[in-house]
Each structure stands twice: as structure tokens, then as C-alpha cells.
Chain A
Amino acid sequence: MNLLRLTGEHLLIVVIAVTIAIAAGVPLGTLAHRRRNAGAVALRITDAVQTIPSLAMFGFLIPLPFLGGIGVRPAIVALVLYSLLPIVRSTLVGLQRVDPHVREAATAMGMTGRQLLWQIELPLATPAIVAGIRIAVVTAIGVATIAAAVGGGGLGTLIFRGVAMVDTRLILSGALPAALLALAADAVLTQVERRLARRRGEA
């Protein structure tokens, strides 16, 4: 049915965008942790991106070659940009929160910087990173409804059609599933976060 297809589309855009944002955001957050200056710049940029209203963002993307235009591609690009900040920031915070004594012990035991990062810092930062991913997913599910404005598809299609036709039921048929999707994603990822924290002895 139509609703199912649109929900699937919606989820697919979100999953692709957040996956790309994780792939870029975790390394950026790590860089921000290791090199304060580069990190400050990265954070400043992701912060600034976050302040662009989402409808305007899609507007800005339309004239851009390669990344922009109309359709699914600019929708994903916009969502990646919005998802970046919570992921970069939570990666940075998670790494900064690692007990300095634990870091000192690992160094004194003869771990290289890379071993310290992969064996100690990133595993200990994982619950925080998952928290960032959760915020990114929930935000992206909401922002993705607006992607329909540039032909990105998803549940926003119903909302925009409803607005054009002044049909509240049609608007709700898009808005409610989107809200439920966000709530469900939030619940699932909160569980993952808790479980990770418990396993790592923080809860």
C-alpha cells in the first residue's frame, strides 16, 4: 500500500543519511579530540549547519551541482549535514569523558596512540556515540518529511499534498507515522545505549 511504500522510502533515506553521517562524524569527532584546533573548526562548521532552517537548506541545495538538485540525492545530503553535529559532538564528549587515569594506565603499559584509541577510548565512548546517533536518527526522521518539498519522497509527500489540498486527514496520515517512527527509533536506540552502558560498567 501507498503508506507502507512511503514509510519505507522515508526510513531508507534516514538510514542511508545517518550511516554516512556516522562514517564521517565519528572520525571527525576523534580528530576533534586529538587535535584541538582542527576539532574546533569542525565543530564550528557543524554547529553553523545546524542553524540553517531545513526548508531553506533544501532550497540552497537545489542549484548545487552533483550534491544538490531535486530528488532523493539532495534529501540525503541535507540529512547527512543535520546528522553530523550530534554524532561529532557526542563522539568528542565520549572520548573526553574517558577517565584520565585509565588513559595514563594504558599509555604506561605501552599502548601506542592507535591502540589506546581503538582498544580503550573508542569502546569506552561507544555509549555516548550511540546517544548521538539516536539524536541524529530522531532529528533526521523529522527533517526527512521536508525532503518531499524537493521531491525526496517519503512520508512528507502526504503532508505536502495534504497542505496543498487543505486536507487535515491527509496531513495526519503522513505526520502520525513519521512521529511514531521517531518514537520507535528513540526507544530502540535508548535500549541499545543502556545495554552498552551496563556492559561497560557505567550504569
Chain B
Amino acid sequence: MSDPAVAYRDVTVTAPSGAAILDRITLTIKAGERVAFLGRSGAGKTTALKTINGLVTPSSGIVEVEGTPLAQQDLVTLRRRIGYVMQQPALFPHRTVFDNVATVPRLLGWDEPRIAREAAALMQQLELPLDRFASRFPRMLSGGEQQRVSLARALIVAPRLLLCDEPFSALDPLIRVELQTLLIDATRRTTLIFVTHDVREAMRIAQRIVVFEAGRVVADTTPAELPRHEHPLVRRFVASTT
């Protein structure tokens, strides 16, 4: 565990209007850490996440993944090693569940028996038994099932880094808790960065909570310490859970 999984060095992202979406963020995430980016909408947490897989390019500053600045990496290769799950399952509607899950392995040139093997194991773990789900199309699935397929699609290549952008916010509370549990179990050896505006979700999933406000980091703490944090926004967040 020499290089950090992700390092932000003085990262600023400016909107076309000139407003700073991220304002000189410096932050290091160690390999294997499970971090929640907590904040209100517009706080910059999603933008911070997207600078890691190059969906957003910083206006200034450097983002490093595993010790190498993004600008010196081939983005296509890098993205195939990083899992990404959004609030919208965004499954490919013309592909079956299996073909959705097989997307990145096929981009990487895995042979089909290996893909079938890995998919079967992973989908079993995510409670999407392959024999029942493999040949279904996304439109035939419930929201929770679609999001599990989306997780499977991101986890199939066992990425060392998984980026989640409010993946469960559109789901009903019971299914949300169920999927949080599945996610925790499926990512025991993964560096996890999880964007959310839900304090309870952050405390449940993460070992470390980074609070964003107006493009800055206003708190960098743990679930245990969070209730005692002094920043007014953090106190309001904590108050909202009781």
C-alpha cells in the first residue's frame, strides 16, 4: 500500500460561467479506504468524483490515481479498471442483463467461459441468479434489480477502485438498506468512494466521511466522530438524522 488510491492536489474545477464548482481541493484517499463524499446538491461532491475517472477535467491542480496524474494516463485503459455506478442504472437497453454485465470484460478481451464464470459468481452474490436474469432485458427489471445489475456491471472485473454517485437515492428505503448491505459485502477489498447526501447512508457504508460545501471540504472525519463535529453544516446534517 505505497501509493494512495486517489490524491487531489489543489484541484479546482470552474464552470463555464466562471463559478468554482471545486475550489482548491487537496485530499488523499488510501488504498482500501471506504470514503463517503457527503454534501448537499451542488456542493461539488459529484464533480470531485468525476475528476477521478476523467469525466470532468480540472481547470487547475492534479488528480492522481494510484500515484500517476490523470493527465499522464490513458483514460480508456484507466476507466476499464475503475468501477462507476450512478443514481440512474443506465443499463444498455438493447443488451440483456448478461451482456450488460459482460461489457467491460469484453472490452478487456476476456474469453467467454471466464466471463460466464465470473458473472455467475458475482450475480449469485448480488442475488441476481444468472439462470433467472441472464437473458432478461433491463426494461423487465424493477429499479432495485436494475441497480444491482449496474453494480454487477461495475464489479465484474474486480476493480480496485469503485466510484458510486448516489447509487441508491432513487430506491425505496427497504431496498436501499438491502443494497447497501450487498455493496458492503461485495467491496470488502475495494477502495470505495461513495457520493451521497444521506448521512445515515454515509455512516453505514464508510469508514471516513468527507463533507463538501460550496466546492470545499469542510469536514474530514469518521462516522464515530461526525456527531461531535463542530462545523455548522455538519451539525445540521447530524441533526437531520434524529
CB contact list, B62-92 vs A, under 8 A: 76-82, 84, 86, 88, 90-92
Is the C-beta of A99 less than 8 angstroms from some C-beta in chain B?
yes
> Interface residue count for B (Cβ, 8 Å)?
25
* Chain A contacts for B222, CB-based, 8 A: none
| B105–chain A nearest beta-carbon distance, Å | 11
Q: Pick from A30-38, A55-63, A81-89, A195-203 the stretch touching chain B.
A: A195-203
* Chain A contacts for B137, CB-based, 8 A: 201
Is the C-beta of A49 less than 8 angstroms from some C-beta in chain B?
no
Q: Does the CB pair B94–A123 fall under 8 Å?
A: yes
CB contact list, A48-106 vs B, under 8 A: 99, 101-102, 104-106
Is the C-beta of A168 less than 8 angstroms from some C-beta in chain B?
no
* Chain A contacts for B153, CB-based, 8 A: 109
> What does the 1/0 interface line of B211-233 toward A look like (CB < 8 Å)?
00000000000000000000000
Q: Does the CB pair B92–A102 fall under 8 Å?
A: yes
Q: Does the CB pair B107–A115 fall under 8 Å?
A: yes
Q: Does the CB pair B84–A124 fall under 8 Å?
A: no
A108 and B150 alpha carbons, distance in the complex (Å):
12
CB nearest neighbor in A for B106: A119
Q: Does the CB pair B90–A201 fall under 8 Å?
A: no
Is the C-beta of A170 less than 8 angstroms from some C-beta in chain B?
no
Is the C-beta of B147 less than 8 angstroms from some C-beta in chain A?
no
Number of residue pairs spanning A and B whose beta carbons lie under 8 angstroms apart: 60
Q: Does the CB pair A109–B93 fall under 8 Å?
A: no
* Chain B contacts for A201, CB-based, 8 A: 93-94, 137-139
A112 and B107 alpha carbons, distance in the complex (Å):
10
Q: Does the CB pair B107–A109 fall under 8 Å?
A: yes
| A110–chain B nearest beta-carbon distance, Å | 3
CB nearest neighbor in B for A196: B94
Q: Does the CB pair A202–B93 fall under 8 Å?
A: yes
A58 and B159 alpha carbons, distance in the complex (Å):
61
A102 and B139 alpha carbons, distance in the complex (Å):
14
* Chain B contacts for A107, CB-based, 8 A: 55, 79
CB contact list, A100-133 vs B, under 8 A: 101-102, 104-112, 115, 120, 123-124
Is the C-beta of B53 less than 8 angstroms from some C-beta in chain A?
yes
Q: Does the CB pair B86–A104 fall under 8 Å?
A: yes
CB contact list, A181-203 vs B, under 8 A: 199-202
CB nearest neighbor in B for A124: B94
Q: A109-B84, A110-B80 are in contact. Are A102 and B90 (CB under 8 A)?
A: yes
A105 and B94 alpha carbons, distance in the complex (Å):
14
> What does the 1/0 interface line of A120-157 toward B look like (CB < 8 Å)?
10011000000000000000000000000000000000
Interchain residue pairs with CB less than 8 A apart (15) = A102-B91, A102-B93, A105-B91, A105-B92, A105-B150, A107-B55, A108-B79, A108-B84, A109-B79, A109-B84, A109-B103, A110-B78, A110-B80, A115-B107, A201-B138
Kindly list 5 other residue pairs between chains A and B, CB separation below 8 angstroms, not including A106-B92, A111-B76, A201-B137.
Answer: A99-B88, A104-B86, A105-B91, A123-B94, A199-B94
